[in-house]
Structure 1
Amino acid sequence: MYQDMHLWTEIRRLVLTKQKSKRAICAEYHLHWKTLQKILNHAEPPGYRQRRPRAKPKLDRFLPIIHEILEQDKKSPPKQRHTIKRIFDRLRIEHEYEGGISVVGDAVRAWRAGTAEVFMPLAHPAGEAQADFGEAVVRLQGQETKVAYFVMSLPFSDAFFCQVFPRECTETFQEGHCRAFRFFGGVPTRISYDNSRIAVAKFVGRRGDTPTHEFLRLESHFLFEHHFCLVRRANEKGHVEGLIGFARRNFMVPIPRIDDLEEFNEQLAQSCRADLERRLRGQPTTKQGLLEEEQRTLLPLPQQSFEARRVEGAKANSLSLVRFDTNDYSVPTAYAHHHVTAVGNIQEVRLIVNDRVVARHPRDWVRENVHYNPLHYLALLERKPGSLDFARPLEDWQLPECFGVLRRRLEGERQSAGRREFIRVLRLLETLELAELARAIERALAIGALTVDAIRLLAQQGREAPSQWFSLDGRPHLQGHEIPPPHLDCYASLLPGGAR
């Protein structure tokens, strides 16, 4: 009855309007005098009000032990912290606790609620951004592959941009910025980051202090300011942290099946554009409208392009290989044992000696592979022709069939000298395209001119444009001229025996 609002209201009305006395109401409704007084003092049932916490005779002396366990858990890995059941088991085994698990759970939940951190809501002025990487799994060319995806967000408009890369590293970090700036149509004035080693070279206290050289190069080009959050304080850039999860749940579930990462990045960019049509709770317009407003506060994009790359110094070894990002790439053997500068972007690796690019290779994102360019070893092969059939750089070199025919004919006619002549023919690929040389070899085989000089001339002849007739139509001033035939008698002196 004490929770029945209808009776509560009726009793208050009858007594307070003096229609009935308190004594009559207590007799009619079988109420205690104190209960009636409570009804008259409160317009609605106040509910149960506990004056003091209930005593826990079996648990009270174990509360300091429980609190100590939970305090120590703060220093342990999240996946190796005590559960309620584990605390209960330890109390029974180690401390002879005889109570139940329910009161232990209540004590743990009360401690966690009392010590949980409370965060201050942050203001997000227009023009400021946050950036971070997340991880996801895609099925790339039929194989499950872990990839890193870059997310940059503008908290004021809630616009964000997402791109997938093979790995989180300097060049993908820079490339993600370049693409995000183009997507937003400008450069944020200030960007918040965590303390990744990609961006931070030195820490002072709990915050990054000294940016890396490549990060400063990026910042100098686009002229934005940086802000490094406190270590393990992701709430300082909580907006992008939330969007990392949003992008994974909405753009990468179910697991994407893709053949090329760049094709998938086009899909992600389209998804980010479509997301701009949403209207957020409490906002007067869509995210696209807010972004157009925010674009007025962004810095303009520089006219000069920025190269996202990583530069490392290295030295070519005795096999004419240079190591970059755990993979080995070949350079011409003339540069073996030389110092080399390796420049890698997301597409290729350039190897530079004395400001000259001596080799280019497609970028390999798998680890500990070796990449040879057969052309880099032809000069060495000419000095060591016996390694022609055993050279590892030539193992998977697919040449047109005419090359094999030429080699067999040369070696059949000249033995070892024929092999050397074939290697000299291969060296023509240092200046000619493979298709050009193949056509010249086919012509040489047809006319029996099986020397490197003849094949070089045939290749050059194939490059020359054929002469065309000069029409005299419409040129009457030239039609009256005659060109006398040449006299070839002077060439007779070159014949054996002199002139005849």
Structure 2
Amino acid sequence: MLAVAQIDYIRHQVNQKGETYANVARKMDIDPRTVTKYANQEEFLVKKAQKRVSKVMGPVKPIIDKWIHEDLKKKKKNHRTAKRMYEQLVKFHCFKGSARTVRDYVSKRKKEIREYIDGAALPLETMPGTAQVDFGTAPFLYQSEVIDLPYLVMSFPYSNTFLFQVFPSENTECLLEGLQRMFRYMGGVPKTIRFDNLSPAVKKIKGKGQRELTDTFERFVLHYGFRYEFCNPGKGNEKGHVEAMVKYVRNNFLLPECVVIDLDHFNQTLWQLAEEDRCRPHYLKQELQSKLYKEDQKEWLILPEKLFECARYQEMKADKYGIINVDNKEYSTSPRFAKQRVKICISYNSIIVLNKDNEVIVTHSRLYGVKRRSMIWQPYLDLLSRRPKAIKYSSLYDQFPEVWTTFLNNCTEEEQKDVLRLLGKLLKNNDFTLLNEALNLASVHGHPSTDQIKHCFYSLLNQGESHVAITPRNKVPIMPSVIRGLTHYDAFFHEGGVGE
């Protein structure tokens, strides 16, 4: 095809100056038929570029594209190289092209896909594989008392589906534990998750939309590899889908008050509720939400092999009794760590006290609600048995169950030592239940001794156990019948009697 300037010259010379086609063709050194064509052409339509289909690369391009999209869900170290793709094409797809051709195509496609992803500005509601997260609150009946507990909701706007779990608090450890449980149950990780400015995740909001994340949340994001987004302050509508789903979950699954005996067991039942709810049509797309949820699944990132430790570590100094304070709750350590620094591992349901060598000193269940102190007595009983008079008037002494505090107050110093040594042997897992029963049983006839308490304890412990009759090893001799008088003694002196 001639250039625009050449076509313009032909039309000017022939149509306006009256030159012959042959003269113009001779001057331009082209075929006279070409001059005739352009001199008389009526329309100059834009010629569409024809897409050439490569006989070699054409059949395998969709395969390579599929591999590239699969790799983008994985960590970079697990991506296929162009060389590896070429080898697989040759081995499994009878590819006849060169390694260089594959390498060039892979490089080009990766660049195109990255540019598309970086330039995409679609709202989360329209993109499969994305999620929104927020906490809600609902009343629960726990130990005959109605209490408010938070529940964590992860919603999937594309499919209008959700997952949720109930927790004792909205702290960082509960947030990360909830997210990790959901990822593991889903079998994947959403590509992008939008949050409100939750304090468990955001330490500080800076200018120009920047956030300073909490250390544990930042490590969690790096571990699972998802992109995070945060709403602008006061703009809850930017995560409108999850806010609507928080209300939906409360109204349809948590009201009236659910009875909770064991929170972990209760949470296990919630997965099935979320799955059953997907068996309804999408409010706009008129397709089953379960089908749309599968499209969400296809876009999720692959789970890392290892679990993330949803815990934070910090060092703190114990007081003179070996007590530490975590989030305004008190936890015992050991008398030998009084006024010393210890390391604390804080998870959503436990407080683990460690020494400088990371050896476990003691493990507590994490406290929530009104209870303020957790005492594990085993580490203290040896000290108590050696110094009962000194400890008697301390606050530690009052942490015993009331029945034991009253009993020890009525003991002599020597009796206290014996009793505390007995407690050191019998107390297991900080459970005073059986010991309380034993003390009450032994106290029926007055102030009991240590031996009486011990006897009652083992009697209660062995209740209901079957006992096998004892069979003597040696043969017991047959004794003569009882006869009044002394004549029965003669049997011992007769031949063949017992005395022989």
Task: Please report the TM-score for the alignment, with normalisation by the length of structure 1.
Answer: 0.56
Q: Find 1:164's aligned residue among 166, 172, 184.
A: 166
Matches within 5 A, 1:302-313: 302-313=304-315
Counterpart of 2:380 in structure 1 is: 377
Counterpart of 1:262 in structure 2 is: 264
Counterpart of 1:339 in structure 2 is: 341
Taking only the aligned residue pairs, the percentage that are identical comes to 31
Counterpart of 1:356 in structure 2 is: 359
Query: Partners of 1:207 and 1:295 in 2: how far apart?
Result: 30
Counterpart of 1:69 in structure 2 is: none
May I ask how many residue pairs the two structures share in their alignment? 319
Q: Find 2:295's aligned residue among 285, 290, 293.
A: 293
Counterpart of 1:329 in structure 2 is: 331
Counterpart of 1:220 in structure 2 is: 222
Counterpart of 2:54 in structure 1 is: none
Counterpart of 1:281 in structure 2 is: 283
Distance 1:432 1:188, change over 3 A: closer
Give SS of 2:184's match.
helix
Query: Partners of 2:335 and 2:226 in 1: how far apart?
Result: 44
Counterpart code for 1:381: L
Query: Partners of 1:249 and 1:421 in 2: how far apart?
Result: 58
| Deviation, structure 1 residue 163 | 1.1
Counterpart of 1:315 in structure 2 is: 317
Does the aligned pair in 1 maintain the 2:378–2:427 contact within 8 Å? yes
Query: Partners of 1:294 and 1:243 in 2: how far apart?
Result: 17
Matches within 5 A, 1:189-208: 189-205=191-207, 207-208=209-210
| Deviation, structure 1 residue 367 | 4.4
Distance 1:172 1:208, change over 3 A: farther
| Deviation, structure 1 residue 329 | 0.5
Query: Partners of 2:428 and 2:280 in 1: how far apart?
Result: 57
Give SS of 1:294's match.
helix
Counterpart of 2:241 in structure 1 is: 239
Does the aligned pair in 2 maintain the 1:326–1:368 contact within 8 Å? no
Distance 1:277 1:430, change over 3 A: same
Query: Partners of 1:396 and 1:203 in 2: how far apart?
Result: 43
Distance 1:226 1:418, change over 3 A: same
Does the aligned pair in 1 maintain the 2:376–2:430 contact within 8 Å? no
Query: Partners of 1:195 and 1:208 in 2: how far apart?
Result: 11
Counterpart of 2:144 in structure 1 is: 142
Distance 1:232 1:396, change over 3 A: closer
Counterpart code for 1:207: G
| Deviation, structure 1 residue 183 | 2.9
Counterpart code for 2:296: E
Distance 1:243 1:212, change over 3 A: same
Counterpart of 1:183 in structure 2 is: 185
Residues 271-296 of structure 1 show CA distances to partners (whole Å, capped at 9, x for unaligned) of 11111111113435322222222212
Does the aligned pair in 2 maintain the 1:328–1:371 contact within 8 Å? yes
Q: Find 1:252's aligned residue among 247, 251, 254.
A: 254
Matches within 5 A, 1:79-98: none
Distance 1:204 1:390, change over 3 A: closer
Segment drifting more, 195-204 vs 327-336: 195-204
Residues 94-134 of structure 1 show CA distances to partners (whole Å, capped at 9, x for unaligned) of xxxxxxxxxxxxxxxxxxxxxxxxxx976531111111111
Aligned CA RMSD, in angstroms, stands at 3.8
Unaligned runs of 5+ in 2: 1-121, 436-449, 452-500
Counterpart code for 1:243: M
Query: Partners of 1:388 and 1:146 in 2: how far apart?
Result: 39
Query: Partners of 2:424 and 2:414 in 1: how far apart?
Result: 15
Distance 1:392 1:122, change over 3 A: closer
Query: Partners of 1:155 and 1:306 in 2: how far apart?
Result: 26
Query: Partners of 1:339 and 1:191 in 2: how far apart?
Result: 38
Counterpart code for 1:218: F
Counterpart of 1:386 in structure 2 is: 389
Give SS of 1:166's match.
coil
| Deviation, structure 1 residue 258 | 2.8
Residues 221-276 of structure 1 show CA distances to partners (whole Å, capped at 9, x for unaligned) of 21111111111112221111110111111112223233333343233222111111
Distance 1:433 1:360, change over 3 A: closer
| Deviation, structure 1 residue 151 | 0.5
Query: Partners of 1:193 and 1:235 in 2: how far apart?
Result: 11
Counterpart of 1:155 in structure 2 is: 157
Counterpart code for 1:371: S
Does the aligned pair in 2 maintain the 1:326–1:367 contact within 8 Å? no
Give SS of 2:169's match.
coil
Does the aligned pair in 2 maintain the 1:135–1:147 contact within 8 Å? yes
Counterpart of 1:466 in structure 2 is: none
Give SS of 1:178's match.
helix
Give SS of 2:234's match.
coil
Does the aligned pair in 2 maintain the 1:327–1:367 contact within 8 Å? no
| Deviation, structure 1 residue 424 | 4.4
Does the aligned pair in 2 maintain the 1:374–1:393 contact within 8 Å? no
Counterpart of 2:131 in structure 1 is: 129
Distance 1:146 1:332, change over 3 A: same
Give SS of 2:126's match.
coil
Query: Partners of 1:140 and 1:416 in 2: how far apart?
Result: 42
Does the aligned pair in 2 maintain the 1:377–1:393 contact within 8 Å? no
Residues 187-232 of structure 1 show CA distances to partners (whole Å, capped at 9, x for unaligned) of 0111111112211123223634221101112112211111111111
| Deviation, structure 1 residue 371 | 1.5
Counterpart code for 2:311: R
| Deviation, structure 1 residue 353 | 2.0
Distance 1:135 1:427, change over 3 A: closer
Does the aligned pair in 2 maintain the 1:208–1:230 contact within 8 Å? no
Query: Partners of 1:180 and 1:293 in 2: how far apart?
Result: 17
Does the aligned pair in 1 maintain the 2:377–2:430 contact within 8 Å? no
| Deviation, structure 1 residue 309 | 2.2
Query: Partners of 1:261 and 1:226 in 2: how far apart?
Result: 29
Give SS of 2:133's match.
strand
Counterpart of 1:488 in structure 2 is: none
Does the aligned pair in 1 maintain the 2:132–2:242 contact within 8 Å? yes
Counterpart of 1:35 in structure 2 is: none
